[in-house]
Structure 1
């Protein structure tokens, strides 16, 4: 999947992951990579995201474990960014979180 790429696989995966997970701008990612001594253009990062995001999603979905037939809902009251919120989680019989949802107080 990464054969023939100018940059190392770890750099590409890190940029794609940070872009998708944290909503950073492409220029922010370019600056973050520059701080680490890696000179990469924002358009290159964009091409990585467009190319690798669907491929990674396909691979993750192939490895994703099916949810068991038994699950339960868990509710707790936590503080997020200084505000109290309810955290609802659906947990399967193995103990893995299937889904979660925040609601305001």
Structure 2
């Protein structure tokens, strides 16, 4: 069961807003998570001709979150330095 914020209408509204942004081109591939409302919303957009029929949807669990996975090593480095003072800088 989907929550009220992750239903087909909300997904369609999100994609429509993202696709109509003036600086975006029509995507070749859309990577989304395993939410079942995304394929239905994308199919509706393809039927309404708001999205190209050649656009591929790729559903993976983690690939849509590359930025969040990329900064985890930076968080480890900064967390170590946050509480420890170097004796050379005191």
TM-score (norm. length: structure 2): 0.32
- Which structure dedicates a bigger proportion of its chain to helix? 2
Q: Which has the higher contact order (CA 8 A, sep 6+)?
A: 2
- Which structure dedicates a bigger proportion of its chain to strand? 1
TM-score (norm. length: structure 1): 0.29
Greater CA radius of gyration, 1 or 2? 2
